[in-house]
Amino acid sequence: MKVSYNWLQNYFEEKLPEPEKIADGIIFHSFEVEETDKVGNDTIFDIKVLPDRAHDCLSHWGIAKEISAIFDLKIKEEEYKTFEPKQTELKIEVQDEKCLRYMGRIIKNIKISESPAWLKEKLEAIGQKSINNIVDAANYVMFDLGQPIHSFDLDKLTSSKLIIRNAKAGEQITTLDKKEVNLDESVLLIADEKDPLVIAGIKGGVKAEVDNSTKNIVIEVADFNPVSTRKTARKINILTDAVKRYENEISPELCEKTMHAITDLIVKVAGGEVEDIVDVYNEKQEERTVEVSVEYLNKRLGSNFTKQEIENVWQKLKFEYTEKQDNVFEIKVPVLRLDIIGPHDLAEEVIRILGYDRLEEKLPEVKCEQKANDLFTKILYARNKLLTDGYSEVMTYVFRDKGEVEVLASASDKKFLRTNIADGLKESLKLNQLNMPILDLKEIKIFEIGTVFKKGKEEMHVAFNVKKEIKEMLLDEFCKDMGDVEVAFKELINSVPKLNSEDKFNIWSVYPFISRDIAVWMPESEDPENLKKILKEYGTDLMIKEPYLFDKFTKEGRTSYAFRLVFQSYDRTLTDDEISEIMAKISHKISENSSWEIR
């Protein structure tokens, strides 16, 4: 969610810390800040509000409350104008319990116009387009408080009655962006006595659209069931900012504050006469209290926080609390904090506000029963056995173009899970055979240990090649002779080679390599290093690896050394000619030594 620094500043008398400090505070105490962008004289944060805080933090107000708690800054609570009671003709009938609360209010004789500069600026700062003063006001309040709002043109309704009901089979609605949407009985609607007006919580329709000639409006501030809103939105494939808030569940209690905020703002930017609110709120949200002790918090966190420190957290978060008995608090959970259910949730509040850096690193002192795992030990055993026999380990993809088990929703052409390792291993064998000269191997011997998937079961297999043939079998079969699992595990895990801090990976070039072999007779007594030195020196930087001694034999006082030289560039394809030139220079240099002879 995009959040404006200047907008946040409205919540505080005091000057906020610099944007970088704010971002850091949010990162270490609340949420990830994915981006901090300077835009004009404002800074825009892109904040990844965590799913469990979407209830109360998909808004500037929510983030301002976080900042207030993190930096211990006093937050200004906005005062909204109240209006004289005025009887209203508006009627609201809620027919389905998927509507948790519905507040409506008529405002008459408003004047549609462009929004004032400050309002446009605020919306544009967070990437929202300005439309007109009424639509903008509703948008602004949503991004400010987190509660979606809808407005209808009262004069376009069949009567001044709104009905919240399920759609009828075959019913249709044309949305504000002129899309025809087919509805069914699972879709909750706001309708007048004749037609659907809004897909509840998701998208408005054209029938009662507010336009430039609108004079009288109805404001909707409502709450809907998160699961059904989400399901409908997915089904008709319309994802709006309103959906994002409803599907994560927001408190029906938020409606009231929002109604006051939006009425106040509309009157400010568009004038009008305000009528009484009609509020259908059948099942009031229950107040929740959670009990938590200082001892519980410290036990769960592994900390030594004092009662005073913990009380400070409640105060910073504006939690109402009482100390029920010594060191035991009863917290009245703020209505918007739907995420706080039990004491474990309060443990998170305490540690994130006091700071995770307050935790020491303590190794646990507990002793658990230790048992070797059969499957893991067999994998270790098989791998060790194959490595010892000169086989190298590869891993290949589980996803193939055919098989018995198919995955859904994959855009890829490899939608099946492998039924064997052999197919992948064959491809690996081919690839590695082509690369043989750069692998310093006399023969390609490879294996893989992994899961294969057959209809209704998965099996752990071992596969390896014998020349061009692939042998594949069950891991259990391969490990027949492993013996006692405890003994095997201990032995194998203790012989795991130590990690070397010097080890470094070198990525290979994507350009083809060229390999050349050279064999030279040398006096038996002479060190082949002398030859290797020349090969390296005249091989130039294009020789990407040490000359590899692949053959050696002695005859009549002379030894023949056969080296393989591999040339490759990281930025181009080499030509045969340039390598021949290098080889010529090497040969020339070798021939300068009368006791050597190129075979």
Partner 1 sequence: MDKNLEKGREHPLSVIINNAVKVFTELGFSVAVGPELEDIFHNFDALNVPKDHPAREMQDTFYIKGEDGKVLRTHTSSVQIRFMEEFAKSGKKPPFAIIAPGKCFRNEATDATHEMQFYQIEGLLIGEDINLANLKGVLSHFYKKMLGEDTSLRFRPSFFPFTEPSIEFDLKYKGRWLEMGGAGMVHPNVLEACGIDSKKYQGFAFGPGLERLMVIKYGMPDIRPAYHGDLRFNQI
Q: For residues 372-391, which are near partner 1 according to CB under 8 A?
A: 372-373, 375-377, 380, 383, 386-391
Q: For residues 16-75, which are near partner 1 according to CB under 8 A?
A: 27-32, 50-54
Reported in sequence order, the residue ranges of 251-339 that DSSP labels E, i.e. its strands, are 273-280, 289-293, 320-325, 328-332
Least separation in angstroms between CB 373 and partner 1:
4
Please name the residue that has the structure tokens 């048992």.
371
229 near 202, Cβ under 8 Å?
yes
Least separation in angstroms between CB 490 and partner 1:
9
Torsion of CA 53, 55, 56, 60, to 10 degrees: 90
Would you say 44 or 350 has its CB closer to partner 1?
350
Would you say 49 or 277 has its CB closer to partner 1?
49
Is residue 356 involved in binding partner 1 (CB under 8 A)? yes
Q: For residues 195-234, which are near partner 1 according to CB under 8 A?
A: 227, 230-231
Alpha-helical (H) ranges within 459-512 are 475-478, 485-494
Q: For residues 179-198, which are near partner 1 according to CB under 8 A?
A: none
Interacting residue with partner 1 among 147, 151, 263, 303 (CB under 8 A): 303
Q: C-alpha distances in angstroms, 257 versus 145, 149, 260?
A: 9, 12, 5
Would you say 215 or 383 has its CB closer to partner 1?
383
Q: C-alpha distances in angstroms, 380 versus 111, 144, 334, 464, 495?
A: 77, 57, 53, 15, 11
Interacting residue with partner 1 among 448, 463, 488, 520 (CB under 8 A): 448
Is residue 458 involved in binding partner 1 (CB under 8 A)? yes
Is residue 396 involved in binding partner 1 (CB under 8 A)? yes
Would you say 372 or 574 has its CB closer to partner 1?
372
Would you say 277 or 346 has its CB closer to partner 1?
346
User: By C-alpha distance, which of 13, 22, 239 is closest to 148?
Assistant: 239
User: By C-alpha distance, which of 237, 208, 233, 238 is closest to 220?
Assistant: 208
User: How many other CB atoms sit within 10 Å of the CB of residue 177?
Assistant: 9
Least separation in angstroms between CB 187 and partner 1:
16
218 near 197, Cβ under 8 Å?
no
Would you say 16 or 439 has its CB closer to partner 1?
439
Query: Which run of H or of E encompasses 68?
Result: helix 60-71
Q: For residues 241-280, which are near partner 1 according to CB under 8 A?
A: 247-248
Q: For residues 500-559, which are near partner 1 according to CB under 8 A?
A: 500-501, 503-508
Which tokens sit at 324?
A: 């029920």
- Partner residues linked to 198 by β-bridges: 190, 204
Q: Phi then psi for 166, rounded to 5 degrees?
A: -80, 150
Q: For residues 399-428, which are near partner 1 according to CB under 8 A?
A: 399, 405-410, 412, 417, 424-425, 427-428
| Cα 562 from chain centroid (whole Å) | 54
Least separation in angstroms between CB 113 and partner 1:
38
Would you say 163 or 250 has its CB closer to partner 1?
250
Which tokens sit at 319?
A: 């939690």
Is residue 496 involved in binding partner 1 (CB under 8 A)? yes
Is residue 394 involved in binding partner 1 (CB under 8 A)? yes
Would you say 359 or 487 has its CB closer to partner 1?
359
Is residue 352 involved in binding partner 1 (CB under 8 A)? yes
How wide is the angle at C-alpha 207 spanned by C-alphas 203 and 208, nearest 5°?
Answer: 80
Least separation in angstroms between CB 347 and partner 1:
6
Would you say 332 or 415 has its CB closer to partner 1?
415
